[in-house]
A and B are shown apart, each in its own frame.
Chain A
Amino acid sequence: MSQLDEQIREHYLQQSLPKENLQAILTGEELPHSTAWLQRLIPLAAVIAALLVALSLLWKPTNLTDAVVAEIAKNHNKQLAMEIKSGDYRELQTELDRIPFSLKLPEKEVRSKFSLVGGRYCSIQTELAAQLRLSNNDTGVPCTLYITRLTDSLRQLKPTTRTVKGVKVKLWSDGRRFFGLAMP
């Protein structure tokens, strides 16, 4: 063994753990400055993060329902003038040519109870939508039907009817389109 080998050997043999730290390792105690405990918390932190993400996903539809209902009620109360006045949905479809989905009134129930008055562009949750003015066949009271593409987020919403600021809002979908009907 050369002198340099001996020097290296001596250097490393001088390195030793203090008695109390050595004892702590042997008895399974944590060292005061050890980061091992922090590393063991990583899986726990990951589980908590996953739970928070899951909760946020679960809560999202409820919040989205509130948001959509509020938006529809607010727009209905504005009673904005119709850009196109027509009782024929085909004519509205032609005029509102940026709308990529059918404007045919949904369900026999809607078609039998209401008459189409006109329509205009609008949006629901930033998604391009058609706002159709309807008139109740029995009472003549104006109602508003919103139609938009059934996006992934809107697909999460369950059919519901809620009343906000005196406006009764009914939400539903037909698999391709999303509807919101606002009635006083």
Chain B
Amino acid sequence: MIRLWDGMSWFGQSNSSETASCGEMVQSGYRYAVSLTHNHHDAEDLAQQAWFKLQRNGDESIVRGRFFTTIRNLFIDSIRRKKIVEFEVLPDDEVLPDKSSEEPGITGDLNFMLGQLKAVEREFLFLHCAEGYTAEEIAQLTGRPRGTILSSISRAKAKLRKLAAKETPRSIDANKKRTFS
């Protein structure tokens, strides 16, 4: 059984541990929404709408995977309404070798650099890096082929490194200026 559907909390119970687990799930959903929208207000709205929608549907239990899927569907609906084509299906190209485990981190404004990625790339990075899901689990959640997930994650990391490389000289120059002034 995959972990996506393991997380579960119950409504209609008011004890503090359940409230805490609900809160934790809403926070996770919010972070997931941040990865999709790259905007705090939009993310908050998405998380709230998804939570209310599941409540209105009379779900006695809200499963983490279902919550994430609802957020994702609401996000897709919203970009369709706005006629934004950013959330496009990525090509099913070959799986790129992920050498990132051997590579160092990056310097610079990570939030800015994540904003330069496509929503779907941020989504995969979030699910993989922040939530710890495997490519197989992400494939089940998003309905994309596992190979696409892996190549997208590799491509997104490569983009981040490229952006960081561009930003680094400026950062160093700025630091030098500060040092000598």
* Residues in chain A within 8 A of chain B (CB atoms): 1-9, 11-13, 15-17, 21-22, 24-26, 28, 31, 33-36, 39
* Residues in chain B within 8 A of chain A (CB atoms): 19, 22-23, 26-27, 30-31, 34-35, 40-41, 43-45, 47-49, 51-52, 55, 100-106, 110-111, 114, 125-126, 128-130, 157, 160-161
Docked-complex contact B100 and A4, CB < 8 angstroms: yes
Docked-complex contact A13 and B130, CB < 8 angstroms: yes
Q: Which residues of A contact B55 (CB under 8 A)?
A: 28
Smallest Cβ-Cβ distance to A12: which chain B residue = B130
In terms of DSSP, what is the predominant structure of the interface of chain B?
Answer: helix
Expressed in whole angstroms, the Cα–Cα distance for A75 and B161 within the complex equals 83
Give chain A nearest CB distance to B103 CB in angstroms. 6
Docked-complex contact B26 and A25, CB < 8 angstroms: yes
Contact of A26 (CB < 8 Å), options: B23, B43, B130: B23
Expressed in whole angstroms, the Cα–Cα distance for A3 and B110 within the complex equals 13
Docked-complex contact A25 and B104, CB < 8 angstroms: no
Docked-complex contact B106 and A4, CB < 8 angstroms: yes
Docked-complex contact A31 and B45, CB < 8 angstroms: yes
Give chain A nearest CB distance to B126 CB in angstroms. 6
Contact of A35 (CB < 8 Å), options: B35, B45, B106, B130: B45
Q: Given A22-B26, A36-B45, A2 and B100 touching (CB < 8 A)?
A: yes
Docked-complex contact A28 and B23, CB < 8 angstroms: no
Expressed in whole angstroms, the Cα–Cα distance for A172 and B130 within the complex equals 77
Expressed in whole angstroms, the Cα–Cα distance for A15 and B27 within the complex equals 8
Q: Which residues of A contact B105 (CB under 8 A)?
A: 2-4, 6-7
A-B contact pairs, 30 of them (CB 8 A): A2-B103, A2-B105, A3-B103, A3-B105, A4-B104, A4-B160, A5-B101, A8-B125, A8-B130, A9-B130, A11-B114, A11-B130, A12-B31, A12-B126, A13-B31, A15-B34, A17-B27, A17-B44, A17-B47, A21-B44, A22-B26, A22-B27, A25-B26, A26-B23, A26-B26, A28-B52, A31-B45, A34-B44, A36-B48, A36-B52
Expressed in whole angstroms, the Cα–Cα distance for A48 and B27 within the complex equals 38
Q: Which residues of A contact B22 (CB under 8 A)?
A: 26
Q: Which residues of B contact A28 (CB under 8 A)?
A: 52, 55
Give chain A nearest CB distance to B161 CB in angstroms. 7
Expressed in whole angstroms, the Cα–Cα distance for A25 and B48 within the complex equals 6
Q: Which residues of B contact A1 (CB under 8 A)?
A: 101, 129
Q: Which residues of A contact B41 (CB under 8 A)?
A: 33
Docked-complex contact A16 and B31, CB < 8 angstroms: yes
Expressed in whole angstroms, the Cα–Cα distance for A151 and B18 within the complex equals 69
